[in-house]
């Protein structure tokens, strides 16, 4: 069964303290992995798409990487405005459905 697991569930950082969020997946034939950011009370915002092991994508203080079993979202020198829930997802089979992880809630304190 296709599955996505994110860790940790919650992460508290001081401003400027770099860290990484993990997304482990089990899927037959990976056809992409997606990262989203979600602010409270809003819809998820699309961040990155990764398609193959070794691929990396960057946006401001965020960098997403992909291996054959997991993806990492690295946050370098975070700021309070980076506080949000980060979700990852993978396509399941040929249906077009996405399997979402439960998310990591990041809090960055000034």
Partner 1 sequence: DVKVTQSSRYLVKRTGEKVFLECVQDMDHENMFWYRQDPGLGLRLIYFSYDVKMKEKGDIPEGYSVSREKKERFSLILESASTNQTSMYLCASSLGRGTGQYFGPGTRLTVT
Interacting residue ranges for partner 1, rule: CB under 8 A: 31-32, 34, 36, 41-46, 49, 87, 89, 91, 94-98, 100-103
Question: What is the closest distance, in whole angstroms, from the C-beta atom of residue 14 to partner 1 in the complex?
Answer: 26
CA distances from 106 to 76, 81, 87, 109 (A): 13, 10, 11, 10
Q: Compute the least distance from the CB of residue 76 to partner 1, in Å.
A: 23
**Three-state secondary-structure class, residue 82:** helix
Smallest separation, CB 78 to partner 1 (Å) = 23
């Amino acid at each position: 069964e296709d599955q996505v697991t994110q860790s940790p569930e919650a992460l508290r950082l001081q401003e400027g303290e770099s860290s990484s969020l993990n997304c482990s997946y089990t899927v037959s034939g990976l056809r992409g992995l997606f990262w989203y950011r979600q602010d409270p009370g809003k819809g998820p915002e699309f961040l990155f798409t990764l398609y193959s092991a070794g691929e990396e994508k960057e946006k401001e203080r965020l960098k997403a990487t992909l291996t054959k079993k997991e993806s990492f979202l690295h946050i370098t020198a975070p700021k309070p405005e980076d506080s949000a829930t980060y979700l990852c997802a993978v396509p399941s089979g040929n249906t077009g459905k996405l399997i979402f992880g439960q998310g990591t809630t990041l809090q960055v304190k000034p």
